[in-house]
């Protein structure tokens, strides 16, 4: 996940490949509860791993369900046909509405001595309409805090099932969903009727509930959207195995991506055209705009069809969330696009009509808006502007505007607060970058070099973390090469140059955070020692070895950008890098830092010896004929002898902004 203050997305040129999307939250938590309520074992594939599903799993374990988690596959052994717990249980529901509501209903109908609590915010989220409906049914529920809100205590009910149970439908469809999932527990010998009071909102979510109930053996009879009858003799039956569909709203960004970009197309794994989620109908709108979509069980493939896309006018009431994605597709169309009947956008995470209008205008677009509609005019070549997109803590704003990076003018796009995507899709940008591509010249590289122990590694990795960029520690590659050569029984001398170069060409090295793995073995400590540095210094003067490592180093230049640390980064490997920094510090200061570092790792060290050693190494490094230590001509020098790490990072960030690579103020 990108938890940086902003994410600069370089101009992108195409996209192709497969993305596997995270599971739908709504389906995940419903499936967990239904699996818990039936008899036998259900294997649930592709479950979403999020705060909300964790809360539900914890509750099911407390109830005595068998829960086995193996990655995204979870095996649930249900409670059906078994004795429910009789002891008092307290459940902690966090802030998970999709767990709190249906679990409350199921526990209240089944009965016991249960307390349901959550975080303070959960205690401000209304549940009164559900409690009223359950009380009507004969359930015993008490408010432990404020009337109408959790926490709640549930006791043994005395169910009265002879008259229809009224439930309000105009506040949250989750109340109806909760009743629909709980009442089959009580419908063994009589049909139970639910009557919706008020206009039912979010009908597609009720469709999901009904659909899943059918998968678990419960055929609810629906009379319009006012009356739902659970037939007598209803009994939960495990489907054995069930796949959680990927989130259809999340799919909209990749459907749009396939429609916008040239190439072999995008394949979305995890959701197909026959999805039970309402937002899947986004595909019809995307097709109208020009997308070519094919589909099979659990997959979609999207290619560019009409180009430019076609402007459309559409009533979007049935796909309120996914329709936002159409607004960004509209920038690539041949005429204006009008999205109608979207009043609900005004009361979502943010006022989404206003957000889309303001941010699209920043890009240069002409936008008109009304209380429940928006018209977006296409943005032709030569009119795109660099923009810093404000995201209003709204995941969908962030994901939508990332698609503006494919613009004809090849201007980059800055997304502020990119971590807001975590609400539904924590790894959205990683998924985007895994399929998007662009010319190497568009992927920024910042090079940082300097003498040994100048702190360049720390500086480079901190700057990388601030920008969300990849990090290349080229010194580590020489260290690992030397290590591998010694292991292979080679000397580090010129006589073995060809053999070492051969090893270096296909070095099985992997970086995982701070760890360096060679053939999956952790060699971090071995290569980070003083001896490891000496050995690296030896192999690094062999031209064939340097040459062998070039491709590997280039391969680190990946979206969204790279911090490259080491000797010839700015001169040989990435000579066109837009920012090069040469970091220095006095030998005394560097010896002091190295001393501290070694002591903290438990090595013994002598500060004077270290200083003499550093000075000797500087002299050798500067005078050697192969890749001598010297700043690139266009490097900016930074002496950090008296600077904190934070101050050095700040200086590099200021330089980076002032290079106007992205043209944004800090």
Is the preceding peptide bond at 308 cis, omega within 30 degrees of 0? yes
Residue pair 315/265 in contact (Cβ under 8 Å)? The answer is no
The total number of residues shown for the chain amounts to 666
Q: Nearest residue to ligand DC, using CB?
A: 475
| Stretch binding ligand DC (CB under 6 A), from 126-134, 221-229, 418-426, 564-572 | 564-572
Q: Which residues, 437 to 496, sit near ligand DC by CB under 6 A?
A: 452, 474-476, 478-479
Query: Is 279 a binder of ligand DC (CB under 6 A)?
Result: no
Distance in Å, CB of 372 to ligand DC, minimum: 58
Q: In what order do the strands lie in the sheet with 445-449?
A: 470-473, 562-565, 445-449, 579-584, 636-639
Nearer to ligand DC, 309 or 485 (CB): 485
Candidate residues 414, 470, 567, 595; the one interacting with ligand DC per rule CB under 6 A: 567
Burial class (CB in 10 A: 0-12, 13-18, 19+), 464: buried
Distance, CA of 4 to CA of 464 (rounded, Å): 10
Helix/strand/coil (H/E/C) assignment for every residue in 546-559: HHHCHHHHHCCCCC
One character per residue 515-544, x = contact with ligand DC (rule: CB under 6 A): ------------------x--xx--x----
With left for phi above 0 and alpha for psi between -120 and 50, is residue 121 left, alpha or beta? alpha
Distance in Å, CB of 606 to ligand DC, minimum: 19
Query: Is 566 a binder of ligand DC (CB under 6 A)?
Result: yes
Calculate the alpha carbon distances from 526 to 4, 42, 88, 254, 455 in Å.
32, 47, 54, 43, 20
Q: Which residues, 281 to 320, sit near ligand DC by CB under 6 A?
A: none
Q: Which residues, 82 to 101, sit near ligand DC by CB under 6 A?
A: none
Query: Is 557 a binder of ligand DC (CB under 6 A)?
Result: no
Q: Which residues, 36 to 65, sit near ligand DC by CB under 6 A?
A: none
**Is 132 marked active-site?**
no
Please provide the DSSP assignment of 137-160 as one string.
Answer: TT--EEESSSTTSS-EEE------
Distance, CA of 21 to CA of 243 (rounded, Å): 13
Distance in Å, CB of 661 to ligand DC, minimum: 23
Nearer to ligand DC, 438 or 571 (CB): 571
Distance, CA of 391 to CA of 2 (rounded, Å): 14
Q: Which residues, 627 to 656, sit near ligand DC by CB under 6 A?
A: 627
Please provide the DSSP assignment of 326-348 as one string.
Answer: HHHHGGGBSS-EEEES-GGGGGS
Give, for 654, the enclosing helix (H) or strand (E). helix 645-658
Calculate the alpha carbon distances from 78 to 97, 155, 157 in Å.
22, 21, 22
Which of 245, 205, 242, 253 lies closest to 225, judged by CA? 205
Nearer to ligand DC, 267 or 567 (CB): 567
Name the token pair of 618: 């500087």
Burial class (CB in 10 A: 0-12, 13-18, 19+), 140: middle
Q: Which residues, 588 to 627, sit near ligand DC by CB under 6 A?
A: 627
Query: How many residues contact ligand DC, by CB under 6 A?
Result: 14
Q: Which of 8, 52, 279, 321 is catalytic?
A: 321
Q: Give the chain's radius of gyration (CA, Å).
A: 30
| Stretch binding ligand DC (CB under 6 A), from 11-19, 256-264, 485-493, 562-570 | 562-570
Distance in Å, CB of 3 to ligand DC, minimum: 27
Phi/psi at 573 (nearest 5 deg)?
-80, -50
Distance in Å, CB of 531 to ligand DC, minimum: 11
Candidate residues 568, 583, 585, 648; the one interacting with ligand DC per rule CB under 6 A: 568
Give, for 640, the enclosing helix (H) or strand (E). none
Burial class (CB in 10 A: 0-12, 13-18, 19+), 628: middle
| Stretch binding ligand DC (CB under 6 A), from 38-46, 197-205, 283-291, 563-571 | 563-571
Nearer to ligand DC, 311 or 475 (CB): 475
Distance, CA of 86 to CA of 559 (rounded, Å): 55
Helix, strand or coil for residue 349? coil
Give, for 274, the enclosing helix (H) or strand (E). none
Nearer to ligand DC, 269 or 597 (CB): 597
Distance in Å, CB of 567 to ligand DC, minimum: 3
Nearer to ligand DC, 360 or 571 (CB): 571
Distance in Å, CB of 492 to ligand DC, minimum: 12
Q: Where are the beta strands (DSSP E) in 21-56?
A: 41-45
Helix, strand or coil for residue 451? coil
Distance in Å, CB of 573 to ligand DC, minimum: 7
Neighbours of 516 (CB within 10 A): 23
Nearer to ligand DC, 339 or 536 (CB): 536
Distance in Å, CB of 326 to ligand DC, minimum: 47
Nearer to ligand DC, 96 or 490 (CB): 490
Nearer to ligand DC, 397 or 583 (CB): 583
Which one-letter DSSP state was computed for residue 572? I
Give, for 118, the enclosing helix (H) or strand (E). none
Nearer to ligand DC, 618 or 639 (CB): 618
Distance in Å, CB of 454 to ligand DC, minimum: 9
Give, for 189, the enclosing helix (H) or strand (E). none
Which of 305, 308, 260, 250 lies closest to 282, judged by CA? 250
Distance, CA of 248 to CA of 49 (rounded, Å): 16
Nearer to ligand DC, 627 or 636 (CB): 627
Please provide the DSSP assignment of 493-519 as one string.
Answer: SGGGHHHHHHHHHT--EEEETTEEEET
Nearer to ligand DC, 407 or 537 (CB): 537
Interface residues with ligand DC (CB under 6 A) are 452, 474-476, 478-479, 533, 536-537, 540, 566-568, 627
Catalytic positions, written as ranges: 321
């Amino acid at each position: 996940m990108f938890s940086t203050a902003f994410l600069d997305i370089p101009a992108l040129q195409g996209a192709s490949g497969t993305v596997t999307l995270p599971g739908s939250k709504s389906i995940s938590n419903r499936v967990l509860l239904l699996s818990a309520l039936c008899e036998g074992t259900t294997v649930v594939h592709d479950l979403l791993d999020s705060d909300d599903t964790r809360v539900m799993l914890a509750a099911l374990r407390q109830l005595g369900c068998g829960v086995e988690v193996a990655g995204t596959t979870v095996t649930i052994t249900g409670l059906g046909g078994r004795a429910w717990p009789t002891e008092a249980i307290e459940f902690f529901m966090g802030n998970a509405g999709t767990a709190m509501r249906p679990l409350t209903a199921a526990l209240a109908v089944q009965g016991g001595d249960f307390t349901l609590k959550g975080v303070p915010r959960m205690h401000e989220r209304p549940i009164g309409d559900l409690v009223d409906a359950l009380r009507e049914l004969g359930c015993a529920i008490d408010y432990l805090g404020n009337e109408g809100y959790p926490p709640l205590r549930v006791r043994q009910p005395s169910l009265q099932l002879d008259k229809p149970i009224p439930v309000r439908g105009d506040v949250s469809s989750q109340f109806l969903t909760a009743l629909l999932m709980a009442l089959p527990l009580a419908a063994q010998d009589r049909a139970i009727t639910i009557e919706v009071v008020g206009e039912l909102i979010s009908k597609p979510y009720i469709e999901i509930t009904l659909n899943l109930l059918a998968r678990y053996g419960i055929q609810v009879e629906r009379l319009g959207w006012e009356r739902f009858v659970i037939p007598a003799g209803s009994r939960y039956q495990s489907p054995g195995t069930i796949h959680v569909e990927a989130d259809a709203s999340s799919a909209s960004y990749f459907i749009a991506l396939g429609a916008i970009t040239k190439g072999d197309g995008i394949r979305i794994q995890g959701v197909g055209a026959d999805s039970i989620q309402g937002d899947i109908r986004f595909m019809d709108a995307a097709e109208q705009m020009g997308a070519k979509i094919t589909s099979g069980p659990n997959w979609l493939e999207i290619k560019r069809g009409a180009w430019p896309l076609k402007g459309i006018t559409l009533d979007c009431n049935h796909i309120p969330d996914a329709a936002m994605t159409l607004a960004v597709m509209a920038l690539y169309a041949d005429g204006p696009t009008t999205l109608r009947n979207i009043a609900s956008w005004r009361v979502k995470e943010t006022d989404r009509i206003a957000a889309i209008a303001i941010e699209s205008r920043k890009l240069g677009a002409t936008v008109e808006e009304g209380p429940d509609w928006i018209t977006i005019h296409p943005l032709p070549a030569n009119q795109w502007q660099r923009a810093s997109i404000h995201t209003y803590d709204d995941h969908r704003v962030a994901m939508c505007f990332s698609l503006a990076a494919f613009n004809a003018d090849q201007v980059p796009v800055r997304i502020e607060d990119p971590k807001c995507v975590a609400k539904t899709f924590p790894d959205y940008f990683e998924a985007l970058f895994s399929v998007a591509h662009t010319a190497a010249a568009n992927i920024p590289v910042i090079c940082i070099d300097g003498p040994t122990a100048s702190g360049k590694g720390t500086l480079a990795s901190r700057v990388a973390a601030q920008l969300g960029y990849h990090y290349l520690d080229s010194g580590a590659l020489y260290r690992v090469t030397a290590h591998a050569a010694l292991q292979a029984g080679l000397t580090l001398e010129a006589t073995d140059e060809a053999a070492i170069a051969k090893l270096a060409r296909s070095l099985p090295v992997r970086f995982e955070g701070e760890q360096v793995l060679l053939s999956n073995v952790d060699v971090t400590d071995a290569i980070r020692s003083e001896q490891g540095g000496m050995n690296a210094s030896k192999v690094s003067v062999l031209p064939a070895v340097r040459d062998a490592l070039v491709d590997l180093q280039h391969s680190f230049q990946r979206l969204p950008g790279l911090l490259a640390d080491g000797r010839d980064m700015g001169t040989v490997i990435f000579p066109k890098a837009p920012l090069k920094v040469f970091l220095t510090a006095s030998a005394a200061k560097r010896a002091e830092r190295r001393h501290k570092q070694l002591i903290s790792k438990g090595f013994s060290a002598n500060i004077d010896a270290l200083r003499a050693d550093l000075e000797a190494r500087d002299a050798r490094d500067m005078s050697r004929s192969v890749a001598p230590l010297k700043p690139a001509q266009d490097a900016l020098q930074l002496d950090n002898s008296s600077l904190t790490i934070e101050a050095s990072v700040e200086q590099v960030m200021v330089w980076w902004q002032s290079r106007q690579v992205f043209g944004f103020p800090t």
